[in-house]
Amino acid sequence: MGNAIFFNTFKTKSRYYFHLVSKMGIWAHKLSELSAEEKISGYGTKTDRLGRAGEYRRMCRRAMKKADKYLAMAIAAMEEEK
């Protein structure tokens, strides 16, 4: 069942991996915006705000690492498809 959905939607592995790259990029962008907003928000003490902002930054870095991994997988899949 999962393979049928995969091939009906994306047709190739490289398209699927490029989709994941864009998804991770969007998620990382949202996390960086949340980090910036958290630093200037009035909610909680300064230490709390900076701690939450730091957590968002770490999550952003993880999302970008995943995007890099998916990009490498997409390039490898494109080479296979040739």
Which residues have CB under 8 Å from 13's CB, separation 6+? 73, 74, 77, 80, 81
- Ramachandran area for residue 36 (φ above 0: left; ψ -120 to 50: alpha; else beta): alpha
Torsion of CA 38, 40, 46, 47, to 10 degrees: 30
Q: Percent of the chain having pLDDT more than 90?
A: 40
Helix (H/G/I), strand (E/B), else coil: 21: helix
Q: How many CB atoms lie within 10 A of CB 18?
A: 19
pLDDT given at position 1: 45
In the predicted structure, residue 65 carries a pLDDT above the cut 90:
yes
Q: Report the pLDDT averaged over residues 1-21.
A: 76
Q: In this structure, which amino acid lies at residue 53?
A: A
